[in-house]
Structure 1
Amino acid sequence: MKQPMNSKALTGGRTSPEFTEFTEALETSGTAPSSPSRRSALGLLSATAAGMLAGCTALPSSSGVTRSGVAASDTNALIETAPGPGEGDSAEDIVNGFLRAAIAGFSDDFATAKQFLSDHAVAQWRPLATVSAYSGSTEPQVSVAANGSFRVTSGQVGVLDSLGVFTPAQEGATYDGEFSLATNSTGQWRIVGLPQGILLPFSRLMQNFAVSSLAFLSGDRSRFVPELRWYPRSSQADSLVAGLLAGPSEWLSKGAFSLIPPNAGRAGRG
C-alpha cells in the first residue's frame, strides 16, 4: 500500500500551480519555518502530505501501552480581529466586511461575521461545513449579479470538507458564491442568503487548522493505514476522537477499518 509522492495522483492527473509549488517546496526545505507566509505554509503542507503519502505503517507486534498528550496551544499566537458592520454601510460594504470577518472568525467563533447576517441566516450558516482556500496573491472579486445579488469569485487552491479531508483543486478551479441581501427593521443591509462554509487565504487555513493522521487497520489486520485530516486547532483533540469514532473516509473504507464498534460514543465529562 506504499505510494510514491505524486501530486498528480491526488488530483486525477491535474494539479493547481499552488499544489505543485508546495510539493516542490518539500524537496528543497523538508520542514517549514514558523512564519505565516504563503511559502512557509505551503512547505508545511507538503511535509505533512509526504508523511501521509508514505503509505501504510507496520503494526507493532509487541510494545507497552504509552500515554501521549496533546500539544499545548501556542499562547503567543497572533489573534486576528475584524470590525463588525458600520451604521449606514452599503450592501457591498456588508459583503466585503463579512468576508474579512469570516477570515478572522477563528478568534471569536465567528461572532463578528454573524453580525453581518440576518437572524435567519445566522441560524442556517455553518462556517466549517466547507472551507474554500485561495492563493493569498489574488483577492476575491465582489460583483453585482443581474438579479441584484452579489457574486464572490476567486481562484481556488483546494477545499476542506466538514470531515477534515482536504482536496487540492484542479488547475483553473474557481470559487463562485452568491450572497443575497436585504434591509432589516432599522434599514441596515444584512446578508440573508449565502453559501455554507467560509472562503479564506490558504495561509490562514494553515494557521487555523492542524494536520493530524488518523490510524486505521488494513483489511488483513497487519498494518496501520493512515488518513490525513485537517482539524481546527481550537478543537483538535475533540475532532481527533470524533474522527476515530466515525471511521475512515468512504474512499479508504474499502481497504481499511476501525476496531471501534459502530455504536461506540464518548463518555460524558464530569
Structure 2
Amino acid sequence: MPANRRPLSRSLALLLLPILLVVSGCSSIPTSGPVGVITADTGSDTTDPLIFNPPGPRQDADPESLLNSFVDAGTGAAGDYEIARDYLTDEFAAQWRPEERIIIYGADPQISASPTDGVYQIQLEVEGTINAEGIRTGAPATTTESLTAKLEQNADGQWRITSIPNGIMISSSQAELLLETYSLYFYSSSFEHWVPDVRWFVNRAAIATNIVEAMLDGPAPYLQGSVTSAFPESTTLGVESVPIVSGTATVELSPDVLQETSDLIRQQMQQQLRENLAGLNTVNSVQMTVEGQPVYLGDESNVPHPDLLIPVGDPAVGNKQIVVSGNELFLYQTGETVPIEAVPSVAALDPQDPAMTLSGAGFAFLNGNRTRLYTTGPDQEIIIAATGRGLTSPSFDPNNWVWTASTGPEGLGSTVTAVPPGGSEDSAVSVTAPWLADSAVLELRVSRDGSRALVVTEQEGVSRVFLTGIVRSNDRTPQSLGTPRELFASGPVNTAKWVNEDTVIVAEASAEEEVTPEFLGLDGSVDALSSLEGILHISAGTGPTAIFAGTSEGVRNRVGDTWSNEPVEGVQDPAFPG
C-alpha cells in the first residue's frame, strides 16, 4: 500500500493552511519581504533508505555468472549505481540509464547463450514494470520477457557488458525493500479535491527530487485531462535537486514560472508542493525559489487569495447505507433499518442496486430486469433517468450526477451514461469511451473525488478491471473516459467498489459458490479477504474495515479478518453514498 497515506493530522493541517500561507505581491524576483513557506506535518511512516551493497564483478567470471551478478547489482543505487556500472564497459557505463525502466520479476532469471558469440538472453518472469516517471504497469500471471545482452572481453581478459536495455531488474522480494510507493497529488478539475497518482521510486536520499520532478512532468496517462496541476506545463526544476536542510525542502523552479503565474496560481502551487512532500518524514516545511530568491505569493496582508480552495483528500462517506428491504428503500446503520421520510413508494418497480448521493438527499436504483434507472428523493417524484440493456448499478459523483453503463446487442459494446441532478433521459449525457466498444461493462463506480472511474469489463468470458480518468467540460459536464489503466486481480471479477482514494475491493459475486474478495491497491498490491459463501453484493465505506457483503440470507459485515456470524435478515443490496 502507498507509504504516504493521509493521516488525520494532515487533514487538520490542511484546514489550517490559509493561516499558514504567507503572502506578498511581486511579478519579479524581490529582495525583501515575507517568504512563502508552508509548514508540513512531520508524521509519516516513511523510513530511511535501506542500503544494499551488492558485490562487484568477480575476477575471471564467465559471461553467465557475470550477468547473474549484474542483475543482483541493480539493487545498489548508491553512487548512481556505481557497482552495477562496474559490470559495463567504460563507454557503455557512461550512457546506461538504470532507472529508465525497472523490471520486477518472480522466479530466478534464466540466462542462456545465443548462437552469436558474446550475445546472451536473460529471460524473466515479469510481475510488473516501472518507467522513469515511477509509473508501474502490472502484468498478467505467466508474463515473460527476454532481454538481449552483448558482452566482450577487455584487455585484462575480463568479460564486460557492451549492450543491454536501459534499466535494472529486481526480484519481487527485493522490490518490497528497495522501492517505495508515493502518492503524487493533483487537483481535481474543480480544485475541490486532491487526486492521488501512485508512483514507485527507488528509496534513497534523492526521493524528494524524484517526487517533485514527477509532479512537474504531470499526471500518469490515465489521469491526463481529468486532473490539473497548478504548475504551468513548462515549469521545470531550476537545479536538479530538492535539498532538505533543517526540515525545509527548497524547490528551485525555472524562471519562466514568475511570468506565467498569478498570485492565486502561486498559492495553489505552494499548496500542491506541500501536499506532495508531506509524506516525507524529513520535511516539515516547503519553500519555492527562483534563481535562489524566494517566490512570494501575494500581497502583505497575510490573507490567502479569496479564490483559493482547500482541497479535500480521500473524502469520507459516513456510516449510513441505502438498502432494499421489503421492496422499499431504507437507510441502514449499525444493523438497523430506518425509513426515509417523504420518499415515494418504489415497491411496484421491483427495486435493486440502490445508490445515494454523498449528501444523502438523492437516491437512485434499477428495476428488476435492469432495464431502467430511476432517481428520486424526499418530496420528489420518481424519474426515469436512463434506459438500456443490462444497466450497471448506479453511482453518484460529488456533483450528484448519476452514472450507469448499458450493454449493446448480443452483449457487445457498452454505452456510458451520466444524468445531471434532477435530470431525466432527455438531459442524460452519453460519455465517450471508445475503448469499451468491444466489451460489456459489468460495474462502473465513480471515485469520491469525481475525477476517476473504476470499470469492470468482460469480453469473450474474460473479465478485466480498469481505472480511467473522467474528462469534463468547464461546467463539469462529463465528456469522456480517458486512456484506461489496468489493475490485476487473482481471478475473475464481476463487481468492484472504491474503498478509499487508492484502494478498491473486487470480487466474483456468486449465489452458490464461496467468494473471496480482494483489495487491489493502486500500487499493484493484492490482499485477499476471508472467503464467504454466497456473496451477491459488496459495499465499501470509508476504509478497509467498513466492508459489507449482501447475501441471500441478509447483510454481513467484515469483523477483523473474518465476517460477522449472524446476517442482518431482510436487507438487500447495501450501498454507501457514491
How many angstroms does 1:185 deviate by? 1.8
Q: Does residue 1:139 correspond to 2:93, yes or no? A: no
Q: Residue 248 and residue 69 in structure 1: after superposition, are their counterparts in 2 closer, same or farther (change >3 A)? A: same
TM-score by length of 2: 0.34
Give per-residue Cα distances to partners, 1:114-172, cap 9 Å, x unaligned.
Answer: 1111112102211100000012xx21111111223111112111001100011111222
Q: Match for 1:158: what amino acid?
A: G
Aligned to 2:177: 207
Q: Residue 73 and residue 61 in structure 1: after superposition, are their counterparts in 2 closer, same or farther (change >3 A)? A: closer
Q: Is the 8 A contact 2:50 2:178 kept in 1?
A: no
* 1:219-238 superposed matches below 5 A: 219-234=189-204, 235-238=206-209
Structure 1 residue runs of 4 or more that deviate by more than 6 Å after TM superposition = none
Q: Match for 1:179: what amino acid?
A: A
Match of 2:87 among 107, 116, 124: 116
Aligned to 1:163: 133
How many angstroms does 1:178 deviate by? 0.9
Q: Match for 2:112: what amino acid?
A: S
In 1, Cα distance between equivalents of 2:233 and 2:165: 32
Q: Is the 8 A contact 2:2 2:183 kept in 1?
A: no
Give per-residue Cα distances to partners, 1:3-53, cap 9 Å, x unaligned.
Answer: xxxxxxxxxxxxxxxxxxxxxxxxxxxxxxxxxxxxxxxxxxxx339x79x
Greater share of strand: 2
Q: Is the 8 A contact 1:106 1:208 kept in 2?
A: no
Give per-residue Cα distances to partners, 1:166-203, cap 9 Å, x unaligned.
Answer: 11112221121111111112221111111110111112
In 2, Cα distance between equivalents of 1:263 and 1:125: 27
Q: Is the 8 A contact 2:127 2:138 kept in 1?
A: yes
TM-score by length of 1: 0.70
In 2, Cα distance between equivalents of 1:238 and 1:78: 18
Q: What SS is found at the alignment partner of 1:221?
A: coil
Match of 2:68 among 96, 101, 105: 96
Work out which of the two has the higher radius of gyration on C-alpha atoms and give 1 or 2: 2
Aligned to 1:188: 158
In 1, Cα distance between equivalents of 2:46 and 2:113: 41
Q: Match for 1:213: what amino acid?
A: S
Aligned to 1:4: none
Give per-residue Cα distances to partners, 1:75-109, cap 9 Å, x unaligned.
Answer: 5x653322222332222222122112123x12453
* 1:236-255 superposed matches below 5 A: 236-255=207-226
Q: Residue 111 and residue 63 in structure 1: after superposition, are their counterparts in 2 closer, same or farther (change >3 A)? A: closer
In 2, Cα distance between equivalents of 1:265 and 1:179: 35
* 1:31-180 superposed matches below 5 A: 47-48=1-2, 63-64=17-18, 65=20, 67-68=39-40, 74=47, 79-103=51-75, 105-135=76-106, 138-148=107-117, 149-180=119-150
Greater share of helix: 1
In 2, Cα distance between equivalents of 1:90 and 1:63: 60
Unaligned runs of 5+ in 1: 1-46
In 2, Cα distance between equivalents of 1:222 and 1:72: 26
Q: Which stretch shows the higher mean deviation, 145-154 or 214-223?
A: 214-223
Q: What CA RMSD, in Å, does the superposition of the two structures yield over aligned residues?
A: 2.7
Higher RCO (C-alpha 8 Å, min separation 6): 1
Q: Is the 8 A contact 2:50 2:177 kept in 1?
A: no
Unaligned runs of 5+ in 2: 21-37, 238-251, 253-290, 294-578
